Amino acid sequence: METSNADRARILVHALPYIQKYSGKIIVIKYGGNAMINEELKDSVMRDIVLLSLIGVKVVLVHGGGPEITDMLKKIGKESKFVDGLRVTDRETVDIVQMVLAGKINKSLVNLIENKGGRAIGLSGVDGHMIQAKVKDERLGFVGDITHVDVQPIFDVIDKGYIPVVSTVGCDDEGNIYNINADTAAAKIAGELHAESLISMTDISGILKDKNDPSTLIPKITVAEAPGLIENGIISGGMLPKVECCVNAISWGVRQVFIIDGTIPHAILIETLTDEGIGTMFVKE
């Protein structure tokens, strides 16, 4: 069914308060999962980002790329090994990580944004020593624990009217490169930017009271409520580190954090420019 011009006008008027709310503010989007693999979803995400940018929102895109790293390692005959869900990253692997994240993925996302009418510049955590790190666990090799984030390069790119696209590799003063968890990096960057929002794109709809029933979505969680949900097993497994990043981001200065289903087309716009939203929002109180 086609949308009439009158319907389009009503949609725009309805979105006006949200446009006013976010115009001039910084939104950090953590991008990964199936939304990064599926070409149609990728197109949808880039269109959302360009639209937000054109209405005055200062969008910062932070991305990972685990599946593509795994694919590249397979191509060179190297098996991926994981400890506690984190990729074991020896020196050869970290070279591949840097090549895939800071090269292939980062520049392809910049190109996609530009092709949609936006203006973007790719950065990595190594640029300007933006993400400084140390060894997280000797068993993991060059997997980094963030020690410092300098967001001045991001501010510089924003001030010139570009969308920063940040790949999550880090470095130390000895010249070592580190593989950095994208959720952690996005939370820390958003905190240092004092972002209005951090939007974490995942493959699920948010925090569910019953993980097998999408209708049990919890739309809003305060920082104080999170420990109880963990204790009751509602937040568990792979969601634990994501929620920890959400809570940390709030404590670091982000006003609100959203976990949304990135497999829904235009999920970012639904979350930011409508009454209901689609995911789980974390707030301080």
Active site residues: 30, 33, 66, 183, 242
The three state secondary structure string of 101-126 is HHHHHHHHHHHHHHHCCCCEEEEECC
- Coil, strand or helix at 218: coil
Q: Determine which helix (DSSP H) or strand (DSSP E) holds 178, and give its type and residue range.
A: strand 177-179
Contact predicate 154/140, CB 8 Å: no
* Angular region, 237: left φ>0, alpha ψ -120 to 50, beta rest: left
* Distance separating the N- and C-terminal Cα atoms of the chain: 42
Q: How many CB atoms lie within 10 A of CB 269?
A: 17
Q: Cα separation of 265 and 238, whole Å?
A: 23
Q: What tokens appear for 236 in the block?
A: 């568990």
Q: Cα separation of 181 and 183, whole Å?
A: 6
Instruction: Look at the alpha carbons of 9, 11, 17, 19 in this order and tell me if their dihedral is positive or negative.
Output: negative
Query: Could you tell me what percentage of the chain is helix, strand and coil, using 3-state DSSP and rounding each to the nearest 5?
Result: 45, 25, 30
Q: Give how far the C-alpha of residue 54 lies from the chain's centroid of Cα atoms, to the nearest Å.
A: 20
Q: Cα separation of 164 and 156, whole Å?
A: 9
Q: Strands 256-261 and 58-63: what pairing? A: unpaired
